[in-house]
């Protein structure tokens, strides 16, 4: 390290900010932050928090660098392939800021590990790409009252929020389960490896997560607690959606929200009819159909970006089983859109007039 570099020089541009003084920097210096996942989101989160001067950063991941990571995971290069992500990340972060401490945990998270870890930290940042980890992180953070900075990416869209952090309306904040009360069916839950992702997206979302963590720690500005920020890379647009606490006693009723055939007919005649989607297989549709778009259940992840966000969506199948799964999946990736399914499917339509498609 150049002997001419001091902490006051390192953070000089912070101190030029209105209201940002040594007391604020000390809050960052004293903070302990857990970053779970060192992939596309974890890399920019760790880079900017290291630069900001977070005193203790703990990286938790057991993955190794692969060639397919390199277009978006900016801490790594081709020489890193096959090596542990956290080892490379720790060395590079320490080189970026010698005034902080980096700790590594070479494990994939599970409920017990999180229970052991969570009390040590002031903030936890979810940079994972699977639902099991997200729910485990959320539940542990909620148990110990640790603010959780959430991030998620899917193809061209990303989401950011802050959970378990007080708001005026909710003194204990909201939970990830208030956004998504349960995970979609495993067969439909895709990560970047399955669905693909534009390389810049995790950079945008991860940087926003780092910004939220800084605000939580310092008290500067207004956090996204109580809100969900969505970002669409194709249109370069954002939406800030207000969240509300779910009545968890009614979750199962909500998740089975359905619509009967007669109500569907009326809805389709309205000024702004819902989008109707048939999730059956092609041979079933050819034998009997009430119309709508045809997207088989297994193909939904490839078509979700094409679905409108400004209309309700109603899904149907033969008996209602597949459409209920489709609803769970669509709700997990289309926040703010009302999604229903046809109760009992076509089988429950009691001989309705299918000669005139909806």
CATH for the stretch 7-246: 3.40.50.720
Q: Is 43 a catalytic residue?
A: no
Cβ-count burial 181-203 (b if 16+ within 10 Å, e if not):
bebbeeebbbebeebebbeebbb
Region of 6 (left: φ > 0; alpha: ψ -120 to 50; beta: rest) is beta
Give the global pTM: 0.75
Q: Report the distance separating Cα 209 and Cα 298, nearest Å.
A: 31
**Per-residue pLDDT at 356 exceeds 70:** no
Cβ-count burial 316-354 (b if 16+ within 10 Å, e if not):
bbbebebbbbbbbbbbbbbbebebbbbbbbbeebeeeee
Place of tokens 């969505």: 230
Question: What's the mean per-residue pLDDT of the chain?
Answer: 89
Contact between 167 and 204 under an 8 Å Cβ cutoff? The reply is: no
List the helix and strand counts (H, then E) for the chain: 15, 13
- 191 — pLDDT class (breaks 50, 70, 90): low
Q: Which of 300, 302, 123 is nearest to 223 (CA)?
A: 123
Q: Report the distance separating Cα 123 and Cα 27, nearest Å.
A: 12
Q: Which of 72, 134, 71 is nearest to 108 (CA)?
A: 134
Place of tokens 């970047």: 192
Q: Is 317 a catalytic residue?
A: yes
Which position among 60, 80, 127, 317 bears the catalytic label? 317
pLDDT single digits (tens) 162-185: 999 999 999 999 999 988 877 776
pLDDT single digits (tens) 19-67: 999 999 999 999 999 999 999 999 999 999 999 999 999 999 999 999 9
- Residue-range domain boundaries for the chain: 7-246, 256-348
- Report the topology of domain 256-348: Oxidized Rhodanese; domain 1 (3.40.250)
Which position among 106, 192, 349, 356 bears the catalytic label? 192
């Amino acid at each position: 390290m150049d002997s001419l570099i001091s902490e006051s020089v390192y953070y000089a541009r912070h101190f030029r900010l209105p209201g940002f003084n040594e007391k604020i920097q000390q809050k960052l210096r004293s903070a302990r932050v857990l970053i779970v996942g060192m992939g596309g989101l974890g890399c920019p989160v760790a880079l900017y928090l290291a630069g900001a001067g977070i005193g203790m950063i703990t990286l938790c991941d057991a993955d190794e660098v692969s060639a397919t990571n390199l277009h978006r995971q900016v801490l790594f290069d081709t020489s890193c392939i096959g090596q542990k992500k956290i080892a490379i990340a720790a060395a590079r972060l320490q080189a970026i800021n010698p005034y902080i401490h980096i700790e590594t945990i070479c494990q994939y998270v599970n409920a017990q590990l999180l229970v052991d870890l969570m009390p040590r930290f002031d903030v936890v940042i979810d940079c994972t790409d699977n639902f099991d980890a997200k729910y485990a992180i959320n539940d542990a953070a909620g148990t110990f009252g640790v603010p959780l900075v959430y991030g998620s990416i899917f193809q061209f869209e990303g989401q950011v929020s802050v959970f378990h952090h007080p708001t005026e309306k909710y003194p204990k904040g909201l939970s990830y389960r208030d956004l998504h009360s349960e995970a979609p069916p495993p067969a439909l839950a895709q990560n970047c490896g399955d669905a693909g992702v534009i390389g810049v997206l995790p950079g945008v979302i991860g940087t926003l997560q780092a910004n939220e963590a800084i605000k939580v720690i310092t008290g500067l500005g207004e956090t996204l607690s109580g809100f969900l920020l969505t970002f669409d890379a194709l249109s370069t647009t954002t939406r800030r959606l207000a969240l509300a606490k779910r009545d968890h006693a009614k979750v199962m009723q909500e998740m089975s929200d359905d619509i009967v055939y007669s109500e569907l007919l009326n809805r389709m005649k309205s000024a702004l009819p819902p989008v109707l989607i048939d999730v059956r297989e092609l041979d079933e549709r050819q034998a009997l159909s009430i119309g709508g778009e045809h997207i088989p259940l297994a193909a939904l992840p490839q078509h979700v970006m094409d679905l409108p966000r400004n209309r309700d969506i109603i899904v149907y199948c033969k008996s209602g089983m597949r459409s209920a799964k489709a609803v769970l999946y669509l709700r997990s990736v289309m926040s703010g859109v009302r999604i229903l399914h046809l109760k009992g499917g076509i089988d429950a339509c009691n001989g309705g007039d299918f000669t005139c498609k909806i």
